[in-house]
A and B are shown apart, each in its own frame.
Chain A
Amino acid sequence: MSDSRRLGEILAEARPLAPDARRAYLKRACTNQAERAEIESLLSASETMGGFLEQPAAKVLAETDGDYEPGDRVGGYEIERLLGRGGSGSVYVALQGQPHRRVALKVMAGGVYSASALERFRAEAEILGRLKHPHVAHVYEAGVSEQRPFLALEYVDGAQTLLQYAASENLDRRARLMLFVSVCDAVHHGHQKGVIHRDVKPGNVLVDPAGRPKLIDFGIARADDGPTREVVGTPPYMSPEQCELDRDVDLRADVYALGVVCQELLTGRAPHRVTGVPAAEAMRRLREDEPETPSAADRTLRGDLDAILSKATRRDREERYPSASALAADVRRHLRAFPVEARDGGVFYHVACFARRHRGVFTAGCALVVVLVIAALMNRSLANEREQERQEAEWQASLANLAAATGALRVHDVSEAKLRLKLVPKHLRNWEWDHLWSRTDRSVALVQATRSAIWSGVVSPDGNLVAAIVRGDAAIAEQDNALHLMDRRTGSRRVFLSGDIDRRDCAAFDPQSRVIAVGHGSGKIRWHALDDGHIVRTIDAHDKTIIDMEFAANGTLVTGSRDKTAKVWNRDGSLRYTLTQHTDRVIGLAISADDTLLATGDRAGVIRIWNLASGALRQTITGHTSSVEGLAFSPDGERLASASRDQSFRLWRLSDGSMIAKSFAHEGNVRDVAALPNGRFVSASWDGTLRVWHGVTGRALGTLAGHESRVVRVGVDRTRERIVSFSMDGSVRFWRWDDVESVRTLRAHKDRVSRVAFLRDGTLLASGSDDRALRIWSLETGAPLHRAAGLPRLAYLERVDANTLIGGVGGWLRKWTIGTTVTHTDRRVPTLSMLANAFYDRARKRLFLPCRQRVAVVDAKKLQVAFSIPVGAASVTTVTVSTDGKRLYSVGGDHTLRVIDIATRRILRERQIGCVPMDLAVVGRELVVPIEGAIHIVDGATLATKRTLASRTGAIYAIAVSPDGSRIASGGFDRALRLWDYRTGQSVAVLRGHRFPIFDIQFSPDGDCIASCDGSTEDVMSSIKIWERHRRSS
């Protein structure tokens, strides 16, 4: 029996066995250790390969998968019947048990989905789940069943597609346009939530028997993974930019598709006729050919509709409507006979519209003078109106992009986030934009070495030189694979070796001379002089590819190869010894800082520790289930970190070979690891991120995101204290060792953190917690500087000035002075007992303390009650004061909001609001009041609601206003920190990260930083989060 057949048989037999039985079986069945290692490696591959190669190659197209039969179960759904098939999967009608309902179940085509692809699918589905619009089919659930992602969608019974419905109901033009406007609204709703549909077409608009359209397949076409970009869409509805592989696609692609849909709905044909045309040709025509105008198909469409549809389907998206709502607005204007924006109509056009609207009044006898007067008046107001609409559309588009960027960052999709942020016009970039941007790339420097992929790289010991192996790319005139050399001192970059380089090659700088060694696929090592590249020496080192090489500080060179050996070479290029005990390719290599130990990792997942001088095997470490690709010793040589294709980072104790930590935080192969002189480790992964790990505990400390593709290597520049990373995105990035994230978490309190306050110019933060301690934190380092214990649970904590805080509860209050030491003064306020949210009026240095039915006014300097104000019959819980210091606002147990004149103590106005807000804030002459999960902006004098911030959230516990008054931050039960634009009242960002409800929010004095705190009773995970506008440059 052939070897392949026998191994295949063992594989097939072993696969279904439980771990123990499998071990026993392999022991019996395998003839030697090498065979067993091979089988184990194949087994791990076969467990993750799913349906790999199951589909014949030619079925790369339309992957049919009608393999679910009625009665089959997918997730919690029972298949009833197949509804249809498409390129990306099949749709079934299925029954859900709980709640009992019929759903449309979309099952993605079988194939190989990586963990990160599935994660992105889930993230995407989560966003889809937030779409709630009467004209968008609702997404009930997203899940994965048998490795196939599926979506449960609202099922529209008896539905027809848009064109079918319009034809079968014989709709007139007006009815068709009304239907179309609803579709625009549905698309616009998606855009507001940051979702681009990408495949708007009549077939994706279902109309139920009552005539209600439902948009389906929102953004579902995206299950993209990794550095590639997809072309998604259906000709002829695809915009020209969608037909270009490398173009980013934004919401204006949907505007284009809507235009095409409308034209087809009105004329029966699309502007480009590409049905049945081969794809490449179809795409070329969409990109290059002039579209047919609506009036060419139907002369009665001349005028408004010609103009509207042409504007929607412009080849240059800058010329299109900026949003679906702008398109809808123009169609509505046409329906109401108002002048449409799309038409650069002259005076007579406007007058004609006016006449259409007022048919009875406008008779033919009008003098030209009248016409001109009307026109002059109209032009002015129209210009205004248009400008406002343009601004509104631009603003809506920006909100959509901000939401999408926030979503992308949550899954570390830096390139998507950047793309979305770049689409926000400069004048609309505010706090949230700066904050999100600072999270896209935390590297301190970047060398875009090339536009093609970097496969490997290495840093010279002094950090001055960086070498990268770059894949050749004919498209950008770099024909050959090459080794690029960058000099950090001069900033210069040159193609050092070209042609004789393979992507599998590796390189290492000789620490003792100006020479770089390159290990080749052929098994040769060549030493090149760094000045001119001439070959100093060549040796035939290995029988097969050299996978990695490493110099010891003393110049000894170690190589690992596909030929299953590692070799150690003397400085003169002579072989010192060969390590032959490996059973598989030697991939990862590391040498301890003192040059005494060598670590090797092989493809079977085994790590071996050798005495570097003698080549004696000291220790074998097993645990990884797939190849060990990167290794690093701790600076003291007591621990070893390993990176593996099994997607784990592990830390080992060398004294006994025990594992200290194992983490699967990376979402892809962990390709390399390096030790930092500060004792930490940094790992590089195919998931596009680097992660920093605690050197002793192996705890994850943070993520460095910024690369836009796989990170393949990581090195260290000791001179400049930088982490150096190499990525297939073609860049080399440099990161600070002690990188400060733009979102940080401060954790030390042992119970709910109830209050935070900034000190100094925002460099210190104070926090009060139910653990009865006040802590002072340095925001430069994130370190807790001071802890004062033994306090009551603070009900309030207010910043008095840069160095002074005031806080307390009940009849007790304390003033802290934060100098080089922290001192305090206490005061009993005998008459006060039930205190809640106090307010400090900084301008007048007065603290307003709620106390039963009164508000006590405390002089902050003397810490004495100056006077008190009666505020009604029930206990007051929350107060604030107008900017001029003249009016007091209060709410309390009687659910009544009051405004009181402080001088006369007179209640000026009252308003029943039906709840007790936990926080109040003043902006200018207005008051911000959270009422049952919605934020009301209330007139400061009349207390009438002027506007409500767009969406409802859970109960709100805290609100804060930015110093410039442009942003409101809110937080509460739903754990999200929300930012709102004060002027428009719209949500501009939803920042997630808190584990528990948020109890307090403060802006720093300069407005650059937000502190928010959360907590759960007696939970040590209670924390403070610091959200920065910019990355700190310190």
Chain B
Amino acid sequence: MSGRITEVLEELRRGDLSAREELLQLVYAELKRLAAIQMNDQPAGHTLQPTALVNEAYMRLLGDGKSMAWESRAHFFRTAARAMRSILVDFARAKTALKRGGKAPRITFNEEIMSDGALTYELLAVHEALERLEERDSDMSRVVELRFFCGLTVEETGRVMGMSERSVYHVWEHARAWLFREISR
């Protein structure tokens, strides 16, 4: 499998965009597996650690990855952020039993047991709004995926996006305001 992913990344680097979907599926499957392990093995109250998960997925799929071209690493992380978003959204959906229409119940546990704060509900709203943002500006939506869903810092996001920190910050602030406006409409 690790061989296949290297190939896919190489195809992508050469500009074969059809490989994108395959990469996403590979990374998603691996992350989902790791996330399940991470959540099941831990007592309740444990927080999913996306950055750690993505790094672990990277290690498992690509070894130390030192030989990796910069673009391939970036591709991997962008894809992983996207996959992470799906995982978290699935997670939130399952938990809030969204089938019950718009009135997603909030689940706020105190102290020891998991508490997912007021954000569970917002998380799904962010996801929906982000779909609309994607249509307008893919940079903005990617930055949100990396920062919010994947938990990367501004600096890490800059490396993955090939942007200066300053630019990441500006795009991020723009996206936050945009999404907030969209959600609170």
Contacts and interface: CB of A to CB of B under 8 A. Distances in A.
A112 B122 contact: yes
B14 interface: no
Nearest to B115: A87
Contacts of A87: 108-111, 113-115, 117
A108 to B, nearest CB: 10
Given A45-B181, A61-B115, A53 B105 contact: no
Interface of B: 43-50, 85, 88, 92, 95, 97, 99-123, 126, 137, 139-140, 144, 147-151, 167, 169-181, 184-185
B101 A472 contact: yes
Interface in A197-232: 199, 203, 221, 224-225, 227-232
A111 B50 contact: no
A107 to B, nearest CB: 14
A45 B148 contact: no
Given A234-B110, A475-B101, A11 B115 contact: no
Contact of A276 (B43, B92, B101, B116): B43
14 contacts: A2-B137, A3-B137, A6-B170, A9-B170, A42-B177, A42-B178, A45-B178, A49-B176, A58-B149, A60-B123, A86-B115, A279-B109, A280-B95, A453-B102
Interface of A: 2-9, 11-12, 41-43, 45-46, 48-49, 52-53, 55-63, 86-88, 109, 111-112, 199, 203, 221, 224-225, 227-235, 245-246, 275-280, 282, 452-453, 471-476, 627, 645, 669, 728
Contacts of A453: 101-103
B48 A58 contact: yes
B174 to A, nearest CB: 3
Contacts of B173: 8, 11-12, 46
Contacts of A234: 109-113
Contacts of A56: 50, 147-151
A245 B97 CA distance: 10
Contacts of A276: 43-44
A800 B156 CA distance: 85
Contacts of B150: 56
A452 B181 contact: no
Nearest to B169: A12
A886 to B, nearest CB: 63
Most A-side CB within 10 Å, residue of B109, B147, B172, B173:
B109
Contact of A231 (B105, B121, B178, B185): B105
B113 A279 contact: yes
Contacts, number: 206
B105 A58 contact: no
Nearest to A280: B95
Contact of B105 (A229, A279, A627): A229
Given A43-B177, A46-B173, A234-B111, A471 B102 contact: yes
Contact of B184 (A45, A230, A277): A45
Given A245-B105, A453-B102, A473-B100, A228 B140 contact: no
Residue of B92, B99, B104, B176 with highest tally of chain A CB at under 10 A: B176
A858 B107 CA distance: 70
A279 B44 CA distance: 6
A63 B171 contact: no
Nearest to A42: B177
A856 B43 CA distance: 82
A228 B110 contact: no
A52 B108 contact: no
Contact of B110 (A112, A221, A246): A221
Nearest to A85: B111
Nearest to A587: B185
A111 B117 contact: yes
A56 B50 CA distance: 9
Contacts of B105: 228-231, 245-246
Contacts of B151: 56-59
A55 B43 CA distance: 22
Nearest to B167: A5
Contact of B102 (A48, A62, A277, A452): A452
A241 to B, nearest CB: 14
A238 B173 CA distance: 41
Contacts of A245: 97, 105
A368 to B, nearest CB: 55
Nearest to B50: A58
A225 B105 CA distance: 11
Nearest to B107: A231
Nearest to A281: B44
A238 to B, nearest CB: 9
